[in-house]
Amino acid sequence: MKFDKPASTNPIDTLKVVGRPTHRIDGALKTSGRATYAYEHYEPSLRYAYGYPVGAAISKGLIASMNVDEAKSAPGVMAVVTMLDVGDREKGEYNTAKLFGGAEVQHYHQAIALVVAETFEQARAAAALVKVEYEEQAGAYDLTEGMKTAEKPSEDDEPDSGHGDFDKGFSEAEVTIDAYYTTPDQSHAAMEPHASIGLWEGDQLKIWTSSQMIDWWRGDLATFLDMDKEKIHLMSPYIGGGFGGKLFLRADAVLAALGAKAAGCAVKVALPRPLIMNNTTHRPATIQRIRIGTTAAGKIQAIAHESWSGDLPGGKPETAVNQTRLLYAGEHRMTAMRLATLNLAEGNAMRAPGEAPGMMALEIAVDEMAEKVGIDPVEFRIINDTQVDPEHPERPFSHRDLVGCLRLGAERFGWGDRGAPATRREGNWLIGTGVAAAFRNNLLVPSGARVRLEKDGRVTVETDMTDIGTGSYTIIAQTAAEMMGLSVDDVDVRLGDSRFPISAGSGGQFGANCSTAGVYAACVKLREAVAQTLGFNSDEVVFEDGKVRAGNRSVALSEAAAAEELVGEDTMEWGDLSKTYQQSTFGAHFVEVGVDVYTGETRVRRMLAVCAAGRILNPITARSQVIGAMTMGVGAALSEELAVDTKRGFFVNHDLAGYEVAVHADIPHQEVIFLDETDPMSSPMKAKGVGELGLCGVPAAIANAIYNATGVRVRDYPVTLDKLIGGLPEVA
């Protein structure tokens, strides 16, 4: 099916199942421990061994030699596989860094060997016996230094954009701001580690893994192994968090495949937490410069956003300027990105890549501008709203209600009680409130599904879509139930298997809208098959309450499959609506903080998110996504930072003891409001996404609240107490 014109009334609009608060259909499995994650897969007939990876101890150079004799003779060891043994291999399409093979070390903790043993403890002990001689080379690890020689990325990354004459507009503006902001390297820090089990059956490979994108992984693994993609069966039914860190093939899957081949049995490989931080991808640090010029009345006349980030050779920039191209009006505009070569682990997608770090800077700058012109920060954002793409004014937004989010949020949060900076105090706590806009584009990716009507009248959905804790199982069941006139209890959902039709996968906030659209397309095919089998005119048929009816005739849905099951399979393809209309999601974040007047410790007291993201398919799972994103934003604002050793080139705090994420004690009352809206331009579901929108703007709202509490403006994340304490009031 091709979606190339706005959605009209369709079966989803019935809203008997879709849009209703529905508890996760996989919830009982997860809370009881019966949901089997990658490393836990077990078949009694299989023999399992354990692989432990060895990570490079340098950040750039060559492996001169490896001595694995002691490791091979250690108790329980079944095989040792090294980069030198494997030799150079072709790199997959979606990887920047090589995952394994050859003699070159591209970054610290790059996997260079795997020890396979009968037990995990034996494998870990033997891995420590591998002796490596390196030829170390000088590397670049400091973004501040790297920005001096940073270059314009390829035009494929759209590094520069503009409209009007920024220099002229900025020089003529009545009020201006010109400031630099920094965001640090960050880790996904998912609860489930990167883990895989590999098993060879002849020339066929089975991989149980933790992957957000089944088809991407299978294709890149086939490239690395130089084998037919169809001979790889990849399974990832449950995933304990990804946040973008499991979008692309990782070393654990490669090592599990190589280890299983060497050991002749199923091999389990889980990356230790330090290797997750330094071996897998991370969100790159940025240095951002923002310039805004307005009239005395606060209308933006000129806005520029420049960003510098770093990556390995062949990498891509952190697209931190993207939201600035679309979020606020202003005739004269300029954005630019530059990329430095750094020999750190691969920088790549992390929840809301681009917008999350970009808005950490932009939404502080907007607050600073509002203060400079003497306008309330909420009102400043409202008067600079736009209903068209500012760089391409002929292109309207498909649906945009940022103003509605800001006004409703201000009313519900009690924004009018805010007060001037450093004027509110409760005991030892300085109190402040802050706001930031939320923005994330609506991306469209083809997505397929297969839907079966079984002889007993149940419907089974099969798609390689994944569930990374987001509720994919449930919204897919709701979609099929709505389309086929059933309850969610009558639908079985099977996900995360490469034998199923290729879906959008989980990433970029496109998973929910695109995967359910693919299920919608497959259900349209199944409805046609059911109508034909039962002798109905498919244009008039209604599927409702387990029955199919047209006019006065009503037949049980199950009768259509009495002779044999019926199958509908299709892929949702996308037309040009996303080109003729700018499709984005919007929101507003409001935060109240307390800052200890003696220590500078910050505590978030309450949070509110108001989201405008098309039809909300399931308010329960959508709310969970937003509060999870808000929690992630607290970490990004106050604690999360991968500290770089700029001499040796690695992330020093590479575990969850040193890399501090927000925990329950850090999170106060959180409220989420969804505006009641649909977007017919987005898909037949008229939905968009919320999982990344809920993060975008949160750190800036916290930083703005801290300024309102203390009068201290911090432009360098995270906003830790050492950056505040010097500006706090004098105390005895």
- What pLDDT digit, counting tens, does each position of 666-703 carry? 999 999 999 999 999 999 999 999 999 999 999 999 99
- In the predicted model, is pLDDT for residue 732 greater than 50? no
Q: What is the pTM assigned to this prediction?
A: 0.98
Which of 521, 555, 578 terminates a domain? The answer is 578
Residue 246 within any structural domain of the chain: yes
pLDDT in tens, 497-553: 999 999 999 999 999 999 999 999 999 999 999 999 999 987 889 999 999 999 999
Strand runs labelled E in 298-446: 300-311, 332-341, 388-389, 392-396, 425-426, 429-441
Same domain membership, residue 72 and residue 17: no
Residue identified by tokens 């891995």 is: 127
pLDDT in tens, 597-656: 999 999 999 999 999 999 999 999 999 999 999 999 999 999 999 999 999 999 999 999
Which of 578, 607, 634 terminates a domain? The answer is 578
Half-sphere exposure of 609 (CA within 13 A, CB side): 34
Dist. CA 369–CA 371, nearest whole Å: 5
Following CA atoms 460, 465, 466, 467 in sequence, which dihedral angle do they give, to the nearest 10 degrees?
-60
Dist. CA 114–CA 93, nearest whole Å: 24
Same domain membership, residue 590 and residue 721: yes
Dist. CA 196–CA 182, nearest whole Å: 36
pLDDT in tens, 542-594: 999 999 999 999 999 999 999 999 999 999 999 999 999 999 999 999 999 99
Same domain membership, residue 491 and residue 455: yes
Domain tally for the chain? Answer: 3
Same domain membership, residue 107 and residue 50: yes
Same domain membership, residue 455 and residue 425: no
Model confidence at 405, pLDDT cuts 50, 70, 90, reads: very high
Same domain membership, residue 455 and residue 429: no
Same domain membership, residue 496 and residue 424: no
Give the number of residues written for the chain.
Answer: 732
Active site residues: 692
CB 263 within 8 A of CB 78: yes
* 3-state DSSP percent of the chain in helix, strand and coil, to 5: 30, 30, 45
Task: Share the mean pLDDT of the chain.
Answer: 97
Supply the CATH number for residue 21's domain.
Answer: 3.30.365.10
Same domain membership, residue 44 and residue 27: no
The pLDDT value given to residue 540 = 85
Cis peptide bond N-terminal to 718, omega within 30: yes
Can you spell out the DSSP letters for 710-725? HS----BSS--GGGTG
Residue 166 within any structural domain of the chain: no
Containing structural domain, residue 495: 2-35+444-578
Same domain membership, residue 131 and residue 249: yes
The pLDDT value given to residue 729 = 84
Same domain membership, residue 607 and residue 572: no
Which of 520, 555, 578 terminates a domain? The answer is 578
Same domain membership, residue 500 and residue 404: no
Dist. CA 257–CA 222, nearest whole Å: 11
> What are residue 459's phi and psi, to 5 degrees?
-115, 135
CB 563 within 8 A of CB 402: no
Same domain membership, residue 228 and residue 126: yes
